[in-house]
Amino acid sequence: MTDLNRRRLLKGSLALAGGLCVPGLLTARSSTGLFNDQLTGYIDQLHDPVIIKEGDTYHVFGSGGWNGRPQISWRTSTDLIHWRDNGDPFDELPKWAFDAVPGAESMWAPDISYYNGLFYLYYSVSTGGSMRSVTGLATTPTLDRRSPRYKWTDHGMVIETFPGGDFNCIDANKVIDLEGRHWLAFGSYWSGLKLIPIDPQTGKRPKGDDSIYSIAYRPAPENGDNAIEAPFIFTHGEYHYLFASYDYCCKKLASNYYVAVGRSKSILGPYLDRQGRSMMEGYGTAVLVERPWGSTRWRGPGHCGLMHDGDRDLIVWHAYDAENDAAATLRIAELVWDDEGWPSVKGEPVRANNRQ
């Protein structure tokens, strides 16, 4: 957000940094292949979605506050088309986080992943435009509220940032790389997107390891903003793909948010666009962008989450609906890959290889 895992099977663990797919279950298919033509139910007032699947149910989590409730927003569906409200994940807001950030009113930018028998929910607490931010972690053995095993446990702070620093710790994304190592990507504005190692046993930074790596940056024009945020790292083939949101979210129909991608064989980068230019220099290949800008129904598409879902990949994001009072609304599509290993979003227009 302007101030908000889904990988694959690794070493015997169901670690899909964003999606848990259970073998033997049929995956939902829309009749046209374009889910956005059919979405219904509780799909509006949603920012910064991420998606995961448990059993036959898809779960989308998003930022709190936009729907009138401060907690993380939670929606569910069994077919990716009909969505319902699944209530609040916690009985109460994490007191430690709101004590740490005076003035904060809601939880932002969740990330959901599954590893070693637990669902990991990372979340951010901050105030708009501030570097005083915290990222926390909660876990549960299941997302099924009907199960006796359902219970969220809050594990407190993972990382924090303060005014006077040079980066902001919101928009977390848990990553398991192609070598099986665990990481947390995050960042919004300032010096860009960052990556820190994570202890897979605790979901937090390894003791004594304060290393932090820069993976993407947006040079600012004179008197302008370096608008980049919302990293999401997704594996495909032999590459790590870094999806990031550029330009401005949260301006309703004036939003010009869009998503660009680069790739690297190393989780640490460098992440390069289709023409070999670095995301550390502000480049990226567009995958979600409104064209022509400011003239379509769906404005400012961005802050995406992805998951492997059987034999296909899914991407979710939010966009502002010009036909529904500029409501931030859930969007879903299949992510498809060309012969050179570059992604596109089924049914969505793009303008490739741009720097803006």
- 289: tokens are 């962008």
Which residues have a catalytic role annotated? 48, 229
Q: The pTM is what?
A: 0.89
Q: How far apart are the C-alpha atoms of 53 and 30, rounded to whole Å?
A: 17
Residues ≥6 apart with Cβ < 8 Å to 59:
51, 52, 53, 74, 75, 76, 86, 112, 143
Q: What is the CATH number of domain 8-345?
A: 2.115.10.20
Confidence of residue 11 (pLDDT cuts 50, 70, 90): very low
- Give tens-digit pLDDT for 316-326: 999 999 999 99
The pLDDT value recorded for residue 120 is 98
Residue 319, burial from CB neighbour count under 10 angstroms (0-12, 13-18, 19+): buried
26 vs 3, more confident: 3
- Give tens-digit pLDDT for 85-101: 999 999 999 999 999 99
